Amino acid sequence: MDEFHNISYFDYNSTTPIDPRVLDAMLPFLQDNFANPSSTHHFGQSINEKVKQAREQIADFINAEPSELIFTSGATEAINIAIKGVAESYSSKGKHIITVSTEHKAVLDTCKDLERKGFEITYLTVQNNGLIDLDELQKAIRPDTLLVSVMYANNETGVIQPIKEIAKLSHEEGALFMTDATQAVGKIEIDADDLGVDLLCFSGHKMYAQKGIGALYVRQRGNKVRLTPQIHGGGHEQGLRSGTLNVPGIIALAKACEIASQEMMQNQNTISELRDSLEVQLFKLPNTSLNGDVKNRIYNTSNICFKGQDANVMIGRMKNIALSNGSACSSAVVEPSHVLKAMGLGEDDAFASIRFSLGKFNTKEDIETVIQKIKEITQTNNNYA
């Protein structure tokens, strides 16, 4: 943790530190409480009871039934199980899937894989503000469309799509609807039942639990969603995700949900205030602009274009500040953000953009530090000459 205390961390959308209370809750399950919840002895069954309680708590947090939750290693796996599971299970109806060009790579690359297997994917474009056009979606849905997949909040820009409306529209046109809600769960209230989604994914390490735990919500009420299993073995998780349960992860995720449900409003107030004060200061600098919709946006994220600058150079010059110029994945290759390009930014502007993603451990001092540093850099690093 020493490292964390010395830096101003603005990369919460790529991962969060573990909340100390989450760590306390999970530690006994890494030590004394190690039994396999599938074991029939009393020790195993006592752990199974804890898993059951955790599952109820997590389900309750997104207003789902415990039987509607499948534990996975994270959002990427949940997304793979959902999209491939639907594709295989419903392929007699057709082979068409609709998603959006600004989705996370976990969705885009899973769809690419299905394209190689004979599926047809429509990648919806977005408007300059990052929002999809519902008319375009409606026109894209066909009788052979199995699934529409649209993320809840974008990891790079924070842009929030109208998920309830999109789910309704998809259903009216006869398609299933899934949402990657990894950047929404834990930050804002999510009611899977009210949203009317069929499938919803989220991840522990984006909400102050550890890496390696996530969940997939699979609707069982009303129209049951059928998924063909992609991972075979002992038949855990209703046969949809075999493998010994990650008990410490499940306990941690439940604790993270409990904390989020109690502190969400407070976090929203303090984090949005910090984010807004950051933006007020940065937008006073010349040649700065916001990427994404001002209104339909999650409160912790700000994606700003510093026109004429090189974001990578800027980030490299900020030694004790953790920032991102795109998503965290595949950062060995320097490519402009596919999200910003889809929103109509040119390559130069995409390369000039920085994502600030804030979290509950950020302080006013962090904000002052980053503003000061960016002022220095943009004033001494004028690339117009």
CB 176 within 8 A of CB 199: yes
d(CA 252, CA 23): 7
- Report the residue from 182, 291, 300, 378 that binds ligand PLP according to the rule CB under 6 A: 182
Q: Pick the closest to residue 301 from 202, 383, 196, 184 (CA basis).
A: 184
Q: Site mask, ligand PLP, residues 10-49, x = CB under 6 A?
A: ---x------------------------------------
329 catalytic? Reply is: yes
Query: CB-wise, 94 or 212, nearer to ligand PLP?
Result: 212
Nearer to ligand PLP, 302 or 309 (CB): 302
Q: Return the residue of 55, 95, 187, 206 that touches ligand PLP, per CB under 6 A.
A: 206
d(CA 259, CA 19): 9
Asked whether position 151 contacts ligand PLP by CB under 6 A, the answer is yes
| Separation between Cα atoms, residue 377 and residue 347, nearest integer Å | 21
Least Å distance, CB 79 to ligand PLP, is 7
Question: Residue 297 interacts with ligand PLP (CB under 6 A)?
Answer: no
Nearest to ligand PLP of 184, 374 (CB atom) = 184
Residues 57-96 that bind ligand PLP (CB under 6 A): 74-76
Of 11, 19, 68, 180, which one interacts with ligand PLP (CB under 6 A)? 180
Nearer to ligand PLP (CB atom), residue 246 or residue 309: 246
Q: Tokens in use for 200?
A: 């919803």
Q: Which residue has the tokens 């529209």?
A: 169
Q: Which residue is nearest to ligand PLP (CB)?
A: 74
3-state secondary structure (DSSP) of residue 306: strand
Nearer to ligand PLP, 75 or 259 (CB): 75
- Exposure of 207 by Cβ count < 10 A (0-12 exposed, 13-18 middle, 19+ buried)? buried
Tokens 């009303």: give the residue. 222
Please state the closest distance from residue 174 (CB atom) to ligand PLP, in A: 26
Q: Based on the shown chain and the rule CB under 6 A, indicate whether residue 267 belongs to the binding site for ligand PLP.
A: no
For residues 2 and 213, what is the distance between their CA atoms, to the nearest angstrom?
Answer: 24
To ligand PLP, the closest distance from the beta carbon of 15 in angstroms equals 8
CA distance 152 to 154: 7
User: Rounded to whole angstroms, how far apart are CA atoms 153 and 163?
Assistant: 9
Cβ-based nearer residue to ligand PLP, 84 or 373: 84
How many angstroms separate the Cα of 282 from the Cα of each of 9, 170, 356? 17, 39, 11
Query: Could you tell me if 313 and 353 are in contact, meaning their C-beta atoms sit under 8 angstroms apart?
Result: no
Residues of this chain that interact with ligand PLP (CB under 6 A) are: 13, 74-76, 104, 106, 151, 155, 180, 182-183, 203, 206, 214
Catalytic residues: 329
